[in-house]
Amino acid sequence: MTRSPTSPARRRVLALAGGAALLSPLALRPAFAAEYLTIATGGTSGVYYPLGVALSQIYTKAIPAAKSSVQATKGSVENLNLLEAGRAELGFSLGDSLSDAWKGEADAGFKVPLKKLRTMAAIYSNYVQIVAREDSGIKTLADLKGKSISVGAPKSGTELNARALIKAAGLSYKDFSKVEYLPFGESVELMKNRQLDATLQSAGLGVSSLRDLAASQKIVVVPVPADIIAKVGDPAYQSGVIPANTYEGQTSAVPTARIQNFLVTREGLSEEMVYQMTKAMFTHLPELVAGHAAAKGISLKDAPLNSPVPLHPGAAKYYREAGVLK
């Protein structure tokens, strides 16, 4: 069969069409923003990531118009900046980071106030979990002086928690022999190899990285007393307890600080879409709990409360419908 020659103009059209086919969905987002739901989470060894995966699976089934995907990130600060820039539709954040973003605290990683942020739901609490190798000799916050520690990725929610509590305890990063800024999983690997004495991880109870560490060696969970938490001077920091046997070998309850987590969206996402997102999460809450047990701490009656930024109108619509918001 003889093919007719392709004109130069037609070749240009075909080339453009072929290039468009190679573009990722993210590259096409400006034209189809309402259809894409990128969920900004955290490191893969933390709690945000598995919950984000579970939430994405829920949305895929419950909201056919949404094309949901999950993005691993450095956590709260990166997530909030992605939302403000329109590069994500939903993100996990600690309450203190959310407050800093709304105010534009430069030292926390926010160059200007992020006024496009809107809350979808208050969810579970993070617990600041300071875990040391038993053979390090660390039993109290004071014992951390002169030791090596990982405090999370730079300017992540975990690292901001570390700064606040270490300062409240009368210490600074200069008091440690070494400070690493690493995600949870990498911190644990260094501890397994005896290259690190302790790790501070702000996460839901039973975080997989610390379960892995406790299964491989003896650990000490370092208490954070209530008087230290009070010295932080931020209402986002409350007293909490890591129950006994949360981790292998941890036979007694340990006091520590807890900080409320939030699911955050942004101005510009339609009321109907955020309504559907909020409704789907609470309708399928058991599936979220299956993604990670930390989701057991999510309560419908508390979901619209205590956010430092306004509720998205779509979320508020669902909460009024559910009878938990007037």
Residue pointed to by tokens 């453009």 = 16
Mean pLDDT of 241-267: 97
95 pLDDT more than 50 = yes
12 pLDDT more than 60 = no
Non-local CB neighbours of 95 within 8 Å, separated by 6+ positions? 236, 259, 260, 261, 262, 306, 307, 308
- Residue 200 to residue 182: CA distance in whole angstroms: 10
Residue pointed to by tokens 């409704």 = 279
Q: What angle do CA 254, 258, 260 make, to 5 degrees?
A: 155
Give 249's DSSP letter.
T
Residue pointed to by tokens 């700064």 = 163
- What would the two tokens of residue 254 be? 């340990």
17 pLDDT more than 90 = no
Mean pLDDT of 148-152: 97
252 pLDDT more than 90 = yes
* Contact (CB, 8 A) for 88 and 114: no
Mean pLDDT of 224-249: 94
pLDDT at residue 76, rounded to an integer: 93
57 pLDDT more than 70 = yes
Mean pLDDT, the chain, rounded, equals: 90
User: One-letter amino acid identity for 294?
Assistant: A
Lowest mean pLDDT among 1-10, 72-81, 162-171: 1-10
31 pLDDT more than 90 = no
Total Cβ atoms within 10 A of residue 301: 11
Lowest mean pLDDT among 17-26, 148-157, 160-169: 17-26
The model's pTM: 0.78
- Residue 124 to residue 227: CA distance in whole angstroms: 23
Closest Cα to residue 41, out of 291, 217, 296?
A: 291
Mean pLDDT of 219-223: 98
What percentage of the chain has pLDDT greater than the value 70?
90
- Residue 277 to residue 66: CA distance in whole angstroms: 10
Write the pLDDT tens digit of every residue in 186-218. 999 999 999 999 999 999 899 999 999 999 999
- What would the two tokens of residue 8 be? 């130069």
